[in-house]
Amino acid sequence: MPDAASQALIDIRAVTKSYFSGSVETPVLFGVDLQVGRGDFIAVMGQSGSGKSTLMNILGCLDQASGGDYLLDGADTRALSRAQLAEIRNRTIGFVFQSFNLIKRMSVAENVALPLIYAGVPRARALAKAATELERVGLAGFGKRTPNQLSGGQQQRVAIARALVGDPPLILADEPTGNLDTQTSDEIMRGFQALNRERGITIVLVTHEPDIAAWSRRLVRLKDGRVLYDGPAQEGLRQLAASHGQLMHGPGSGA
């Protein structure tokens, strides 16, 4: 019988990544292992330069690893052509970004329908599906507006609807609350939690904020391109807080 990792939606083994400028090599990831099961909700944390954005780009098939293996939904990404990578990306992954990445000249409904239109779905059917997803994120009736007529939180919900319109099993969210206030951030995270619990969508979320990571079930912390912690979110955040407390209030600090 195959092991649990072989059933993972994301299966990364010994992944390395380096960037080159001429003959100068800059290593960023060092032998990262990560298996993500269907229905998991993971937060990836790390300081600037830890490799979390590089890892996210590899997970999203926006960049390829220098070494190691990456199976996405059972497909060996190293063996796929650019066209095949684009196809599996469109079929399997919904992306949510900090800056929303909405096209200002298009209506809200057109923004949401865009992935389906790119995939060759007839426009009328794509717009109908967009209307359904907008209703699911609480924006029924907003389809004819343009992005600049919406608040930041509403724009992010449009971006989430766009990520969901193709019914992908996986959402990759890169600092999705970075441009939002605390109350709106909580609303967005409640939405992600509901998507995970009610629709079984796997969520991998990059954040540098412990209060955002606390919404997840599992925490992966990166440091200097290596996995420092991979386990239950609350325990990982407790360890993180304790280490910061030791740094701030340790012997000789005057605390």
Cα–Cα distance for residue pair 225/34, rounded to 1 Å: 13
Domain residue spans of the chain: 4-249
What is 4-249's CATH number? 3.40.50.300
| Confidence at residue 30, expressed as pLDDT on a 0 to 100 scale | 97
DSSP secondary structure, 26-88, as one string: EEEEEEEEEEE-TT-EEEEE--TTSSHHHHHHHHTTSS--SEEEEEETTEEGGG--HHHHHHH
What own/partner pairs with CB < 8 Å and gap ≥ 24 does 196-199 have? 196/39, 196/41
What is the enclosing helix (H) or strand (E) of 115?
Answer: helix 108-118
Cα–Cα distance for residue pair 6/2, rounded to 1 Å: 6
Cα–Cα distance for residue pair 204/56, rounded to 1 Å: 9
Tens of pLDDT, residue by residue over 75-100, are 999 999 989 998 888 889 999 998 89
| Confidence at residue 255, expressed as pLDDT on a 0 to 100 scale | 38
Work out whether the CA dihedral 189, 228, 236, 71 comes out positive or negative. positive
| Confidence at residue 7, expressed as pLDDT on a 0 to 100 scale | 72
Cα–Cα distance for residue pair 48/50, rounded to 1 Å: 6
In the numeric block, the tokens 């944390």 are attached to: 45
Tens of pLDDT, residue by residue over 119-173, are 899 999 999 999 999 999 999 999 999 999 999 999 999 999 999 999 999 999 9
Query: Which segment of 101-115, 168-182, 211-225, 240-254 scores lowest on mean pLDDT?
Result: 240-254
8 A C-beta contact, residue 176 and residue 158:
no
